Amino acid sequence: DTGGLDSGGFFEEGALVSVLTTQPLDRTLDYKAPEGGCFVGAFVEVPLGPRKVLGVVWGPGRGDFDRSRIRSVLRVLDVAPMREEMRSFLGRTADYTLTPMPAMLRLATRAPGLGDPPSMRKVYRLGGVDPDRMTDARARVLEVLRDYGGLAFTLKELAEMAGVTASVVKGLVKQGAVREEDSPRDLPYPHLDPDLPGKALTEDQVRAADSLRAGLRSGRYGTTLLKGVTGAGKTEVYLEAVAEALRMGRQALVLLPEIALTAEFLSRVEARFGARPAEWHSGATMTERRRVWRMVGQGAAQLVVGARSALFLPFRDLGLIIVDEEHDTSYKQEDGVLYNARDMAVLRAAICGARVVLASATPSLESWANADAGKYERVELTSRFGPAVLPQMQAIDMRAETMQPSSWISPNLRRAVSDRLAKGEQSLLFLNRRGYAPVTLCRACGQQIGCDHCDARMVEHRFLKRLMCHQCGETKPIPETCPHCGAEGRLAPVGPGIERLAEEATASFPEARIAVLSSDMFGTARALKERIEAIAAGEADIVIGTQLVAKGHNFPLLTLVGVIDADLGLQGSDLRAAERTFQLMRQVAGRAGRAEKPGQALLQTYQPEHPVIRAILAGDEERFWRAEAAERQAAGVPPYGRMAGIILSGPEAGPVFDLGTAMARNDAALRQIGAQVFGPAPAPIARVRGRHRVRLLVKAPKGAPLQEAIARWIAPLRLKGDLRLSVDIDPQSF
Ligand code: ADP
Ligand code: ZN
């Protein structure tokens, strides 16, 4: 398979080829093409010093190296070569994010053992012989196998599904009632059928789906902003676009912001297309990753549902990318390659002639502006599906409430919850703070307990019986004595986290069943999924949660959302704070009233006149966006200007600051393009894992060649000792 490469892309045995490896080198290396030759794009194993490393044949050799010392490619891996469009995508992402190519290649090959032939494993299916003695356990095994038609299971899967031990299955194998076979681990994905009947769409939804389908059939790149309130049926609509892509024989990718989302989502996909799609996320096993990677490359995985890095899978013919909850900040990778999956999805689609659908109830200002400027099409769903209506939103003015000490549920909110309890409906209390209390204070000396490695407070987690740093994850036991002054028994929690809120709720509503949902309380995505399903089924009266609950989940019995601290996100100087708060509050409120019963959202606030709070209450989105856009325009910041962060870090604060100061002084390369540099200032997180961090912010006019200027600016730097520099194009906070 040449993967559509042109015929000129072949190198005869012995020809010089340049190979991009995953090793942190600043150039490609020359090798001789192996026996049998190789194509450009081929995945290869090459010798590097004493090691063998993974690489991709990038082009003809550069020939600037002593030919007699050039070694040969060791072997060509048995996977589809990297396509031209993928090489171009990696190159352009590298240019955009100022990332070295080896790091890009690592991102694109995150499937271990790429070239190994698929290993074999035992699978079990119906054997056709009746066992001589039928027990309940045996009957259950056979029932599972019959229920799933001809499907084969691994021993573990089968035993789990039937609720029996492995020996029961083995016993049935001996009898011939179950057949044991060898099967390659790379099981093909079941076929998805786009022509199964979907839900009957409303007029609004049909119009939206038609528009997405028409875009796809054009066969050309284009991006559509699919906007619609939570529960309007955006998912139903874009699944129709996925169906159309599959009908056209092209692959589709649905990006979701969080693993937690996929559980409910996958069942919806299965219901629509009759089988489960390929999944790509950090929780997947090595074997599963490799399977997805290979199948995507062969075109045998029609649909991938995944987290942001799925964008770097080697699709054979990608026709559609959905970015669900496109405004979500987790699309920005903050470690390693600093890219925003939403923006890179648009780039990738432009390269391979695919369509992009950005779906959101509360689009990012960037996407809103692109739609406003006519760069993106805009398709809107205006009402919730069926009888569901948007919740009524009201502020609770906390200045007028009488609050007991260490209490965060106002009398007004308490009455609303009691009312729901009496009616047998669910309430959600939302507080975007994990743990028991954000601050642990010594009442003797007034000091707070901080992390030893970061510029962050330790947060008490009673559930884990430990203090935890939310920056680096470090935990330690809750001390008896103050680490600063040694006073005994004087440490006290200050302020609420959701565990503490749960305590208050338990005391206030002793008869209620209370469920706490926070990412750190669940060991596995599966445990979390089960909890969410139980809540949706009505196994809780009051749900207490962080932003984990704000997204995507359907809780049909939920009719009240109480936001404990609507002002939380408005503090701080970040220019995006207003946008974030607006989005989060709308998302959370959207959890209420998704079925027949109307919902209500109550926002506890000390600043009911704040323009953002008023915009949230009024639900006047266009007005909010226009006001926000005007402010950003005046400040010359994204999306009306360009921005980059330069993060400098090192073990000592002094040298890091000195480097920053020197860089800010030598800014000729930036001034040439009309850019300004601000700082150095402590980075938003000033110390992480023992390293001091300083940030320079670069602001440039909209059309300016920012990356080129930054590259010229930092090229002459020689970083001494343990100093590090990373560039963050389009930083999340500014
Ligand atoms: P969104 O993605 O906009 O939040 P969803 O697509 O999740 O909305 O739809 C909300 C709920 O309404 C889901 O349970 C969905 O199955 C249901 N729904 C939406 N449209 C229809 C329809 N046309 N027929 C039946 N159910 C629908
Ligand atoms: Zn820490």
pLDDT tens, 320-347?
999 999 998 889 887 778 899 999 999 9
Ligand found nearest the CA of 385? 1
CB-side neighbour CA atoms (13 Å) of 450: 12
**What pLDDT is recorded for position 385?**
66
By three-state DSSP, how is residue 310 classified?
helix
The annotation places the binding site at 442, 445, 451, 454, 469, 472, 482, 485
Mutate to test the pocket of ligand 1, among 385, 390, 551 (most ligand atoms within 8 A of CB): 385
Nearest C-alpha to atom 19 of ligand 1 is from which residue?
Answer: 233
* Ligand 2: centre distance to CA 726 (Å): 20
Ligand found nearest the CA of 256? 1
- What is the position in ligand 1's atom list of the atom closest to the CA of 590? 4
**What pLDDT is recorded for position 389?**
63
* Ligand 1: centre distance to CA 84 (Å): 38
DSSP label at residue 425? -
| pTM of the predicted structure, to 2 decimals | 0.78
**What pLDDT is recorded for position 572?**
60
Nearest C-alpha to atom 25 of ligand 1 is from which residue?
Answer: 199
Pairing of strands 355-360, 691-701: unpaired
Name residues of the chain where pLDDT drops below 50. Answer: 1-6, 260
Ligand found nearest the CA of 380? 1
* Ligand 2: centre distance to CA 329 (Å): 22
Distance in angstroms (rounded) separating the CA atoms of residues 85 and 349: 10
Give 485's contacts (C-beta < 8 A, 6+ positions apart): 442, 444, 445, 447
Nearest C-alpha to atom 10 of ligand 1 is from which residue?
Answer: 231
- Indicate whether this complex's ipTM tops 0.90: yes
Lookup: tokens for 416: 């609303």
Nearest CA among 330, 406, 350, 334 for reference residue 584: 330
Burial class (CB in 10 A: 0-12, 13-18, 19+), 146: exposed
Contact yes or no for 551/591 (Cβ under 8 A): no
Lookup: tokens for 727: 């560039």
- What is the position in ligand 1's atom list of the atom closest to the CA of 201? 23
**23-27 long-range CB contacts below 8 Å, 24 or more apart?**
23/48, 23/53, 23/102, 24/100, 24/102, 24/103, 25/102, 26/100
* Ligand 1: centre distance to CA 430 (Å): 23
Nearest CA among 361, 327, 343 for reference residue 594: 361
Neighbours of 71 (CB within 10 A): 12
Contact yes or no for 468/474 (Cβ under 8 A): yes
Q: Which residues does residue 252 pair with via DSSP β-bridges, in sequence order? A: 303, 320
Distance in angstroms (rounded) separating the CA atoms of residues 465 and 193: 49
**What pLDDT is recorded for position 261?**
58
Mutate to test the pocket of ligand 1, among 226, 235, 383, 591 (most ligand atoms within 8 A of CB): 235
* Ligand 2: centre distance to CA 217 (Å): 51
Where helices occur in 469-595 by DSSP H, the ranges are 498-508, 525-536, 577-589
The annotation places the binding site for Zn(2+) at 442, 445, 451, 454, 469, 472, 482, 485
Nearest C-alpha to atom 24 of ligand 1 is from which residue?
Answer: 199
* Ligand 2: centre distance to CA 340 (Å): 25
* Residue matched to tokens 């307990």: 449
DSSP label at residue 113? T
Ligand found nearest the CA of 324? 1
Ligand found nearest the CA of 685? 2
**What pLDDT is recorded for position 458?**
86
- What is the position in ligand 1's atom list of the atom closest to the CA of 554? 14
Contact yes or no for 432/549 (Cβ under 8 A): no
Burial of 156-185, coded b for 16+ CB within 10 Å and e otherwise, reads eebbebbebeeebbebbeeeebbbbeeeee
Ligand found nearest the CA of 197? 1
Centroid of chain to Cα 574: 22
* Ligand 1: centre distance to CA 234 (Å): 7
* Ligand 2: centre distance to CA 95 (Å): 32
- What is the position in ligand 1's atom list of the atom closest to the CA of 232? 3
- What is the position in ligand 1's atom list of the atom closest to the CA of 361? 3
> Pocket residues for ligand 1 (CB within 6 Å)?
199-202, 205, 228, 230-236, 385, 554
Give 98's contacts (C-beta < 8 A, 6+ positions apart): 707, 710, 711, 727, 729
- What is the position in ligand 1's atom list of the atom closest to the CA of 200? 23
* Ligand 1: centre distance to CA 231 (Å): 6
Pairing of strands 514-517, 542-545: parallel
Nearest C-alpha to atom 26 of ligand 1 is from which residue?
Answer: 199
* Ligand 1: centre distance to CA 233 (Å): 4
Cis peptide before 680 (omega within 30 of 0): yes
Nearest C-alpha to atom 15 of ligand 1 is from which residue?
Answer: 233
Distance in angstroms (rounded) separating the CA atoms of residues 402 and 392: 24
- What is the position in ligand 1's atom list of the atom closest to the CA of 268? 16
Give 358's contacts (C-beta < 8 A, 6+ positions apart): 223, 224, 225, 226, 323, 326, 342, 367, 376
**What pLDDT is recorded for position 4?**
35
Give 632's contacts (C-beta < 8 A, 6+ positions apart): 365, 575, 638, 639, 640, 641
Mutate to test the pocket of ligand 1, among 236, 262, 379 (most ligand atoms within 8 A of CB): 236
Burial class (CB in 10 A: 0-12, 13-18, 19+), 472: middle
